[in-house]
Amino acid sequence: MLRETMDLLGPERGGVFLDATVGMGGHAVEALGKMAGKGLLIGIDRDDNALKAARDKLGSEHVVLKKARFSELGGVLDGLGIANVNGALFDLGVSMPQLKVLERGFSFQSEGPLDMRMDPAAELTAADVVNTYSEKELERILREYGEERFSKRIARMIVQRRPIQSAQELAGLVSGVYRKRGKTHPATRAFQALRIEVNSELAELEAGLAAASGRLAAGGRLVVISYHSLEDRIVKHFFRGAQARGEARILTKKPLTPGDAEVRENPAARSAKLRALERAA
Ligand SMILES: C[S@@+](CC[C@H](N)C(=O)[O-])C[C@H]1O[C@@H](n2cnc3c(N)ncnc32)[C@H](O)[C@@H]1O
């Protein structure tokens, strides 16, 4: 949803543009091109590898890239002496390269260690969660973060079979619980749950939304693209709260979703939902 994002954020107007999930720089390079030297692009990501790729793609003119989490965003802006931004983007989740590098353990096919850290320097790994959390905690995570209906059974099996070494081994174990196979891999929900726990994704999102919307200039816009219902729910409630307090106006009554052609080209985009907010003048 590159076009929709650019239409809503209008980087061609210049000013300060914050890409809170700069990743490989796909959205950022487009924004930078449209800014045509008229403003500043600040890109953050918690993954050093992504930042390196973004640096190569974006160069250094009119660009500042920083390693940070959403919850550190306010500090990054303070450090740069920036009070307000004109546009902010959150394109949530993991990037294709993060998913595809099997050693990072995000993929069901990965024979490498269970990892799933977006920041490879962070302490907690998926192996720590799977092999050391109590059965009760595992069940809660699977239920709350994966909306997994077999959370109890899967948690029990994990505890019985551990230590579990690889993502592939875990995916096999979870698949065994499902009798019928649907359209998505049976371990999708369990993997989502672990990823959220390992990276504190929901708490990070809440902190990031509060920080970014608090820093929007009058008329500044915030665009969030989410990929699963838990994230989208947080964004929806946050936007409604901001509108109810008279701080902002919701620009997307219903979330925008990708068209058929985009989903055909990039199947990972099929669950994307885009919501946008404009700061009151
Ligand atoms: C879907 S990718 C972004 C892709 C990017 N928009 C592009 O066009 O290349 C999401 C990125 O957000 C980063 N990320 C996710 N949660 C984060 C957080 N809490 N703080 C900082 N970065 C985060 C991930 O490391 C990943 O690189």
CB 74 within 8 A of CB 213: no
CATH 3.40.50.150 domain span(s) along the chain: 2-97+201-279
**What percent of the chain shows pLDDT beyond 70?**
100
> Which atom number of ligand 1 is nearest to the Cα of residue 208?
19
- Report pLDDT for 182: 80
Cβ neighbours, 10 Å, residue 96: 12
Give me ligand 1 centre to Cα 161, in Å: 33
Q: Is 95 in the pocket of ligand 1 (CB under 6 A)?
A: yes
Is 3.30.565.40 the CATH classification of the domain at 2-97+201-279?
no
- Report pLDDT for 52: 96
User: Could you give the strand order of the β-sheet that contains 248-250, starting from the edge strand earlier in sequence?
Assistant: 63-67, 39-45, 15-19, 85-91, 216-226, 273-279, 248-250
Residue 255: asked if its preceding bond is cis (omega within 30°), the reply is no
Which residues, listed in sequence order, are joined to residue 43 by a DSSP beta bridge?
Answer: 19, 65
CATH 1.10.150.170 domain span(s) along the chain: 98-199
Helix (H) or strand (E) holding 49: helix 48-58
Joined together, the tokens standing for residue 118 give 């977006």
Q: Is 231 in the pocket of ligand 1 (CB under 6 A)?
A: no
Give the C-alpha separation, 157 to 170, whole Å.
Answer: 10
Ramachandran assignment for 217, one of left (phi > 0), alpha (psi -120 to 50 degrees), beta (any other): beta
- For residue 232, what is the DSSP state? H
CB 113 within 8 A of CB 40: no
Find how far residue 101's CA is from the centre of its chain.
17
Which residues, listed in sequence order, are joined to residue 223 by a DSSP beta bridge?
Answer: 89, 276
Give me ligand 1 centre to Cα 210, in Å: 17
Q: Is 117 in the pocket of ligand 1 (CB under 6 A)?
A: no
Q: Is 24 in the pocket of ligand 1 (CB under 6 A)?
A: yes
Give me ligand 1 centre to Cα 157, in Å: 32
Give the C-alpha separation, 235 to 161, whole Å.
Answer: 37
Residue 186: asked if its preceding bond is cis (omega within 30°), the reply is no
- DSSP helix, strand, coil percent of the chain (3-state; round to 5): 50, 15, 30
Residues of the chain with pLDDT under 70: none
- Report pLDDT for 275: 98
Fold of 98-199: DNA polymerase; domain 1 (1.10.150)
Give the C-alpha separation, 217 to 280, whole Å.
Answer: 9
pLDDT in tens, 156-168: 999 999 999 999 9
